[in-house]
């Protein structure tokens, strides 16, 4: 049974949600986005693939937009929308979010502008090495890029896709905040990685490649090293590594890792540098 959303909360979030159109005529596609600052919108990367990008606010104002930064792996994009004037949404820290929390979504499914659906958080965890919020609520094409919010109107995540069975997946706000920090600060470690299962059952992040002259190379990290945490905090997903990079105090990342087996624990302090290539973590 749908959970009733307070009308004033839903109305406020509607005003912070935009309708995104890409292309023209029969080739036009549509999605949603969230206003997160002056003339700035966050949405899914898959929403903004194509030319002729336009953003329409709740009051009907339509402006041209451009993509400032895109992360296809995390499926996020930051847009510049000159002339867009609206109160930005508030991002709530998704850490500590639990199953059973009441949530609602706003978006533009199937051409219905500002549609609201409600439900509960089904699960919070890792899928294919990335953190996701899984919610039991109704979404449809056009909801992608819109907000998943709590009943105070604070954004917990960005709705991204619908799984088999009808459950919705959203990028957690912590990953969104990390993406926004990266867009502003441009830090990079200079590695290509993949998640691996450790003997302990915890997550490890294996280094596959290292960019030459990168912070990782200067710190003598090697392909095959398995990163397990930063600043003594264990990684739960690939997002945790990126968040540690983006928030490292003084741009110095303190990594814990295994080399040559999972009993040989090592530590290293890496001085980070501005991002050079978009594929690197």
CA distance 149 to 104: 5
- Structural tokens at position 8: 């004033």
Handedness of CA 32, 37, 39, 42 (dihedral sign): negative
Q: 102-178 belongs to which CATH class?
A: mainly beta
Contacts of 11 (CB under 8 A, 6+ apart): none
- Structural tokens at position 244: 């540690």
Q: Where in the chain is the domain with CATH 2.40.10.10?
A: 7-80, 102-178
- 3-state secondary structure (DSSP) of residue 65: coil
Residue-by-residue pLDDT tens, the chain, 281 positions:
567 778 899 999 999 999 999 987 666 778 999 999 999 999 999 999 877 899 999 999 999 999 999 998 899 999 999 999 888 999 999 988 999 999 999 999 887 889 999 999 999 988 878 899 999 998 888 899 999 999 999 999 999 998 877 889 999 999 999 899 888 877 889 999 999 999 988 999 999 999 988 999 999 999 999 999 998 899 998 889 988 998 899 999 999 999 998 888 999 999 997 654 333 34
Q: 7-80 belongs to which CATH class?
A: mainly beta
Q: Where in the chain is the domain with CATH 2.30.42.10?
A: 186-274
> CATH topology for 186-274?
Pdz3 Domain (2.30.42)
Task: Give 107-152 pLDDT, tens digit per residue.
Answer: 998 878 899 999 999 999 888 788 999 999 988 888 999 999 999 9
Residues 251-281 as b/e (b if ≥16 CB within 10 A, e otherwise) read eebbbbbbeeeeeeeeeeebebbebeeeebb
Under 8 Å between Cβ of 193 and 207? yes
User: What is the helix (H) or strand (E) element at residue 238, kind and residue range?
Assistant: helix 238-247
């Amino acid at each position: 049974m749908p959970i009733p959303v307070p009308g004033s909360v839903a109305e406020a979030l509607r005003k912070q949600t935009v309708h995104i159109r890409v292309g023209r005529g029969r080739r036009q596609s549509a999605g949603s986005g969230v206003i997160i600052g002056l003339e700035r919108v966050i949405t899914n990367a898959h929403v903004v693939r194509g030319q002729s990008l336009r953003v329409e606010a709740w009051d009907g104002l339509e402006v041209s937009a451009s993509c400032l930064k895109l992360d296809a792996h995390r499926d996020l994009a930051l847009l510049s929308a000159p002339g867009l004037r609206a109160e930005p949404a508030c991002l709530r820290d998704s850490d500590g979010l639990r199953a059973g929390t009441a949530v609602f979504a706003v978006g533009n499914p199937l051409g219905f502008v500002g549609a609201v659906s409600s439900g509960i958080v089904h699960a919070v965890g890792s899928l294919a090495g990335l953190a996701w919020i899984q919610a039991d609520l109704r979404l449809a094409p056009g909801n992608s890029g819109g907000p998943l919010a709590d009943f105070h109107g604070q954004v917990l995540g960005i709705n991204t896709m619908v799984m088999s069975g009808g459950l919705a997946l959203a990028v957690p706000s912590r990953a969104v905040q990390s993406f926004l920090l990266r867009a502003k600060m441009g830090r990079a470690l200079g590695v290509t990685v993949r998640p691996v299962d450790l003997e302990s059952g915890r997550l490890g992040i294996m280094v596959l490649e290292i960019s030459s002259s990168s912070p990782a190379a200067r710190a003598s990290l090697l392909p095959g090293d398995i990163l397990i945490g930063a600043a003594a905090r264990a990684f739960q997903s690939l997002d945790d590594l990126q968040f540690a990079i983006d928030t490292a105090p003084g741009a110095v990342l303190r990594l814990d890792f295994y080399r040559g087996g999972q009993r040989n624990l090592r530590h290293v302090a890496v001085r980070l540098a501005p991002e050079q290539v978009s594929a690197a973590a």
